[in-house]
Structures are given as C-alpha cells and as structure tokens.
Amino acid sequence: MIMKRFAKSFLSICLMAAIGFASGQTFTTFTTTDGLPDNFCSGGVAIDNNNDVWVGTALGLAKYDGVNWTTYTTTDGLVDNYVLCVAVDGNDVWVGTPQGLSKFNGTSWTNYTTVDGLADNTINYVFADASHNIWAATGIGLNMFNGATWTTFTTTSGLLGDDIKYITESPTDVIWVGALGGYSEFISPSSFTSYAIASIDSLASDNIFAIAVEDDGDKYVGTWNGISLIDVDDNWVENIQMGEGLYNNFVQDIKIAPNGDIWVGCFASYNGDGGVSYYDISAGTWTSYSVPQGLADMQVVRLAPDQNGDIWVATGNGLTKISGITAIDETAALNLTMTPNPANDFITLTTDEIPQQISILNACGQVVSTTETCSNSTTISISALPAGLYLIQVKTSDGLRTGKFIKE
C-alpha cells in the first residue's frame, strides 16, 4: 500500500533532474521593504491558531497578520535578536536564539538559559507537543520543559547523538527526534528507542535533519542523502532522492500539508543550491520550485503550511508564500530526459514536444546560454561553462519547464 505513493512509473518526468510544474500557483515574497526586520529568515517560520505568520530573522522576530507586520527585538524582551527557530504553542510563541529561549504570551516575555536548566543556550530547534511540553534541541542534548522544570536527555538516555536537529510528534502523540547519529522515539518518561543504519541498513543516512509522520504512522526521515520512508512498524520501505523527484538530496525540512501533500525544503550549502519539492498524493507526482519559479532564494531554511493550504518558505533572502497549488496536468506534461548528467562537454535533451527555446542559467539565475531548436532531441555544447550547478529552462507552447544539471 505504501509503495504506490512513489511508484517508479512517474519517473519519466525526470532523469537526474527535478522536473515539475503546476498550474495556477502564485509566489509572493516578503522582504524588509514589506516589513521584515531582516531578509535572512534564519529562524524559519511558524503559523499560529489565528493563521498569523511568525518569522525568525537575523534581526528579530516578526509577526504578519495578513495585513501588517510587527517586529519584536531585545528592546521588547527577546533574549537575543538573532533567531534560530520559532514554534507556536496555543497563545504562546517560543523563540530559540544563540543566547537562550524566549516565550512570548502576547503581552510579556519570559527568557530561559542554562541557569534555568537548558543544556546549552544555543537553541537549534524548538517544538511544542500536544500536551504543551516544550522541546528544545541543542548541540549537546535535548531539553523538555513541562511548564515547571527542564529535563535534559543525551546519549546516556538512549539518543544516538547529542547534536539534535529536529523534533516532531506523530498524530498518536509519539515524539520523534532527529540527530546527527540517527533518529529516536521518545519512551516516556525518560528513555528512547533509536534507529540508524546499524538497525535499518537501507536508511539513507544517519544524519537526520527532518522527520514528518503521517496519520497512519508512516515516517518520512529527511537526511543529507534524501528521504527514507519508514512504515508504522519501523520497517524501511524506500529512499526518495533527486532521481525520484526531490530538488536535491540535502533535506532541511519536511512538512505534511492539511490535504496530505508532502512538502520538502532542500538546500546544499556546499554549492548554494536549494529549492522546494512537493509530492501531490492525488496525482502521484513530484514538483519542484526554486528561484526561476519565484522562490525568494535558493537557501531554504524552513517550511510551514497555513490553514488556507498555502505554504510559507523561509529563505536566506526573504519569506515566500506559495499559493494556488493545483495538481499537475498529466495530459500537458512535457516528457523530458537529460543525458548525461553530470556532464562534461555536451548535454542532450529529448522531449515529446518540440521546444521553442532552451535556456541555461547559472546558480544566480543568470542566462548563460540560449538555444533555438526545431527538434525533439537537442544537443547543447557546455564545454565553455565553468564547473558547477546549472538550471535549464525549456520554453514550450504551454509555458516554461525547469530542470537542472551538473557540469563537471
């Protein structure tokens, strides 16, 4: 039953390239011009019960109510202006920084540091569970706050690593923790059952950066080598990587939208390449977006679906809202293959429909090559291009299709 979600028959839309398109989507980007305190959304994004948007930036916390932006800084009570993470718990907003954790109840601020029981002041991720416990990820352990006291968990508690990267909760209220070393299920009150390549030999990697859990208990475990799909009984099902439709294999975040679609934020810091991919469960297809489609920046930090079905993407150069998502129209799909990839001297594109124009863009979005074509198979010389990652845009009568390749 699981396997049909990512059936390999859909891979004809891509060959070592994340090809995708959707009709009707709108990209709206917010920056300092609109009211953000800084364009670097270092702390990601969270949505509260009123559908207000909370964004952590390098110069403070911002709230957007759909009309106006409000900024909060150390002047208001925030422990530090450089925000690393943000989470919502009812009427409270929790903000992680390099100097501790702040709670804002809408009126006043309460700050927590190592003096109060945190393992470390640098909070890399914060999560509020269904019981209103607050979980804080640090580089030297995991903290849990029950409203009165802080508890610290480390490898001595059963975690596979103390550098915690992610925390989430299943629909059945099970806490899952991702770390450098593996991922773990919290067994109340103080132990963990942990998983890594040593116990699941097909796991994409032991370095876990994101986890999402479906209603049926299946888990999407995001790593720096793609996503591993793990079933409710903790059996490996398959790995989902660039070849299967991800923008790239460096997963930064995974969220499940209210309609069940899977959203994935990707960013590879070594080459600055990043984007957003989503799996449409009704169409059975992956679609990817990056700067050419309207994303503010390739550095994807975090994602958050809102109550309207829109997806908010915190990036290195602004906040983008993706709205109006509709399923891919298979009847209009451009079947595109790109070989070889990676490539050295040339690359050949083969399509079902004759393209009007093929453009190659560098990682900054600058056009470096344009080819007019009148054939379903086009070979383009890339020998003069410097080594690196390139985007490719194929213009057809239906619009633009975007993929990518690597020049070695």
- pLDDT tens, 26-60? 999 999 999 999 999 999 999 999 999 999 999 99
DSSP letters spanning 40-67: --TTEEEE-TT--EEEEETTEEEEE-SS
Least confident of 184-193, 279-288, 291-300: 279-288
CATH topology of domain 3-331: Methylamine Dehydrogenase; Chain H (2.130.10)
In whole angstroms, what separates CA 76 from the centre of its chain?
A: 30
Cα angle 346-8-254, degrees, rounded to a multiple of 5: 90
Confidence label for 249 from pLDDT (cuts 50, 70 and 90): very high
Residue type, 77: G
Q: Which residues, at least 6 apart from 332, have a Cβ–Cβ distance to it below 8 Å?
A: 398
Domain ranges in the chain are 3-331, 334-407
Q: How many Å apart are CA 80 and CA 54, to the nearest integer?
A: 16
pLDDT of residue 229: 98
229 close to 223: Cβ distance less than 8 angstroms: no
Distance between CA 116 and CA 79 in Å, rounded? 13
* CB-facing half-sphere around the CA of 15: CA atoms within 13 A: 15
Identify the residue with better confidence: 245 or 132.
132
φ and ψ of 115, to 5 deg: -65, -30
Position 400 confidence tier, pLDDT thresholds 50, 70, 90: low
Global pTM value: 0.80
Q: CATH number of the domain at 334-407, please?
A: 2.60.40.1220
pLDDT at 332: 37
Kindly state the average pLDDT of the residues 186-207: 96
Q: How many CB atoms lie within 10 A of CB 259?
A: 11
Please count the residues of the chain: 408
Asked if pLDDT for residue 387 goes beyond 80, the answer is yes
- Residue pair 341/349 in contact by the 8 Å Cβ criterion: no
Tokens of 252: 């930064």
pLDDT value of residue 256 = 96
| Whole-number Å distance between alpha carbons of 42 and 389 | 24
Sequence-distant (≥ 6) Cβ neighbours of residue 384 within 8 angstroms: none
